[in-house]
């Protein structure tokens, strides 16, 4: 397994910037997200955006709406024989 150098790993550095409350980190996350081809990395970056209060991208599902009857029937599929 490849060792990660925290001082050079962009995901680690962005995570620390989010923790510190860096005001420019959201744009840095979006820039890296636009350049990434790795689905796992993209999901992680979208998670950082959610932590920052930004709107998630297309990989993240929007939050569930409680008591949504259509979703309830789809998930439980009571009409299947």
Tens-digit pLDDT profile for residues 10-36 = 899 999 999 999 999 999 999 999 898
In this predicted structure, what is the pLDDT of residue 19?
92
- Number of structural domains (the chain) is 1
Contacts of 53 (CB under 8 A, 6+ apart): none
The answer to the question of residue 43 being in a domain is: yes
Q: Mind listing the pLDDT tens digit for each residue in 39-75? A: 889 889 988 998 898 876 665 555 555 655 555 555 5
What is the C-alpha to C-alpha distance for residues 39 and 53, in angstroms, rounded to an integer?
Answer: 21
The answer to the question of residue 2 being in a domain is: yes
* Segments forming the whole domain that contains residue 48: 1-59
* pTM (2 d.p.): 0.64
């Amino acid at each position: 397994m490849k060792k990660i150098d925290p001082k050079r790993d962009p995901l680690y550095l962005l995570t620390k910037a989010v923790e510190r409350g860096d005001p420019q980190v959201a744009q840095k996350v979006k820039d890296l997200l636009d350049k990434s081809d790795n689905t796992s990395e993209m999901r992680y970056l979208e998670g950082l955006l959610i932590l920052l209060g930004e709107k998630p991208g297309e990989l993240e599902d929007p939050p569930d709406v409680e008591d949504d009857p259509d979703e309830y029937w789809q998930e439980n599929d009571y009409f299947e024989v």
